[in-house]
Amino acid sequence: MKYHAEPYRPDLDELWFKEKMLSDEATMSYNHAYGGTITFDKERRPQWYEKWILDEKEHYYRYLKSTDDSNFVGEIALHKEAERWLVDVLVYAPFRHNGYGQEGLVYLTKEARRRGIKALYDEIAKDNSSIKLFLKNGFVIESINKETITVRLILD
C-alpha cells in the first residue's frame, strides 16, 4: 500500500518532532560516521526556526505530514551552500519504505523549479542506501570521494 504525505510548515512549538527524529538512533543511522544522533533542544529552536522557516531566501523547510492519519512522518529542506542548492529528505524510521521519501523529493524539485533554481545537489554517505532514491529520480553521480557520493539534478 502506498501512503501519501504533503509538505507542512511547522510552528515553533511543533519542532518537538524534529528533536524526536534527530535523537532517534534508527532514523539517524545514516549519520553514524559523524556521531549518529543530534541534540536539538528547546533553547536552540527559536534561532533555528528564524533561519530555516521564517527567512526563506536561502532556506526552505517543511515537515512531511501524512494525509492518511495526519502524523508527521519526516522532513524536507532546500538550502543554499557555497552557491549550490542542497536537498534534504529525512523520513522518521518507523515510516520508512512507504513512499514518503519519494514524495518528499518530488515536492523539493517542484519548489526548486518554482524558485528558478537550476540544479539540486546532495552529499550522501557512501553506505547510505538512499542513493537509490536519488538515482531513481533523475539525479546523477557527480563525484565520489572516500566518504560521500555527490549527486546532482539539472532542472529545466
Task: Annotate 12-55 with DSSP letters as a single string.
Answer: GGGTHHHHHHHT-TTTTGGGGGGTSS----TTTHHHHHIIIII-
Which residues fall within 8 angstroms of residue 5, CB to CB, at 6 or more apart?
Answer: 64, 65, 66, 67, 73, 74, 100, 103, 104
| Helix segments in 5-155, DSSP class H | 16-22, 45-49, 100-115, 131-136
User: 73, 92 in Cβ contact below 8 A?
Assistant: yes
Residue ranges of domains in the chain: 5-116
Q: Edge to edge, what strands does the sheet with 148-154 contain?
A: 5-8, 59-66, 72-81, 84-91, 119-125, 148-154, 140-144
- Report the pLDDT value the prediction gives residue 38, as an integer from 0 to 100: 85
Top-level CATH class of 5-116?
A: alpha beta
Residue 39: C-alpha distances to residues 18, 28, 82 (Å)? 10, 11, 25
User: 126, 148 in Cβ contact below 8 A?
Assistant: yes
Task: Give tens-digit pLDDT for 61-102.
Answer: 999 999 988 899 999 999 999 899 999 999 999 999 999 999
41 against 72, higher pLDDT = 72
Task: Give tens-digit pLDDT for 96-135.
Answer: 999 999 999 999 999 999 999 999 999 988 888 889 999 9
Residue 110: C-alpha distances to residues 17, 32, 101, 115 (Å)? 24, 30, 14, 9
